[in-house]
Amino acid sequence: MTRILTPLVSAIALFAAAPAFAQDHSMHGMPGMAPPGEVPPAQEKKKDKAAARPRAQTPAPDATSAMDHSQHQASPAPQGDAAGQPQPASPAMPDMPGMDHSQHQDGAMPDMPGMDHSQHGQTAMPGMQMTGTALPAGNAPPPPPPSDHFADRDFPGAEMARSRDIMMKDSGGNNFGQVLLNLFEYQAHSGRDGYRWDGEGFYGGDINRLWLKSEGEGEFGRGIDSAEVQVLYSRAIDPYFNLQGGIRQDFGRGPDRTYATVGVEGLAPGMFEVEGALFLSTKGDVLGRVEGYYDQRITQRLILQPRAEVNFAAQDIPENDIGSGLVNIELGARLRYEFSRQFAPYIGVSYLRKAGDTARLSRLAGEDVHATSFVAGVRFWF
């Protein structure tokens, strides 16, 4: 029994000691070694640096042969992975047959055969014709307008010419006219109340017209203080302004005067009706006038019309109580209500101020140099 147990105990002890003998303790006790299960600090830093570097992208391999890489830059050096093991360098973009990379840098798109880059990046495929906005800018003259009429090919030319002439007249070649009394009002102010009118009318076409203008004022019980009538020929100089010339005749208190007149009238930017004129009398007196007004619509029927008028004189005209320089300034505002476009009563206020030598002559004559009037009247046209 003792002989059997002794070998059995020896075998058990030998199997229990086998794992310990398999361990390698050759590096135990060396300086800088870390205990089992821990990563040395130096290897840990290398691992962090390797993880921070981006790994080169590896494109799919191309089986095309006969590539020319003589002008490409050298491939980057192989990089390591996170464990510090070297990795193969990424292959460069393969060349296609017939491609020229001598002028390209790394990463630039190579030219394809037949591609034209002379037009700032526009690509023209072989056999494709550029049209429309893809064409380069040029300086070729436009085609001439057609000189014939299509209907003349099937109908007599004389009959078609007569029809076109009638059409042009119906579309704007006719003569027409209008009479507008812009101011026709009663004026209440200090002293005697008065009245005033300002109107005009014309007849003609789009280019040439005959104008008749009149304005004046007076006081009840004293008759007309001053009035004028103008007969003018008007010609359009652009779509908004007319050049006018003719004769002006003054009447009222004081000596009558006849003037040669030249002026301009039209619609200024902002929808302002403006008028300016110069007057030369038979006595050599020179007068000037600038006036304008604006229709400000409050509603479709209620309209406010501010108005201004300025008069000048080149010399003294004592018989007409006019001094040289600035003669007077008139400012007003009238609010009208249009029962129809042709008929609109209004109320408002008007202020007149004499200036310069004219004011001096008025003071010598015992007259006021300024006056404020409340007005009521009617504006109509037909």
- Per-position pLDDT tens, the chain of length 382: 455 555 565 666 565 554 444 444 444 444 445 445 454 555 555 555 444 454 544 444 444 444 444 444 444 444 444 444 445 444 444 455 455 544 444 444 444 544 554 444 445 565 667 777 777 777 888 888 777 788 888 899 889 989 988 888 777 778 889 999 999 999 998 888 999 999 999 999 889 999 999 999 999 988 898 999 999 999 999 999 999 999 999 988 878 899 999 999 999 999 999 999 999 999 999 999 999 999 999 999 999 999 999 999 999 998 888 999 999 999 999 999 999 999 999 999 999 999 999 999 888 888 889 999 999 999 999 9
Which residue carries 């002008």 as its tokens?
71
The gap from C-alpha 74 to its chain's centroid, in whole angstroms, comes to 56
Structure tokens at 295: 């229709």
Residue extents of the structural domains in the chain: 176-381
Angle at 203 between CA 198 and CA 209, to 5 degrees: 100
Task: Find out whether 266 and 241 touch, Cβ atoms under 8 Å.
Answer: yes
> Given phi > 0 = left and psi -120 to 50 = alpha, else beta, which region is 171?
alpha
The pTM for the full model equals 0.58
176-381 homologous superfamily: monomeric porin ompg (2.40.160.40)
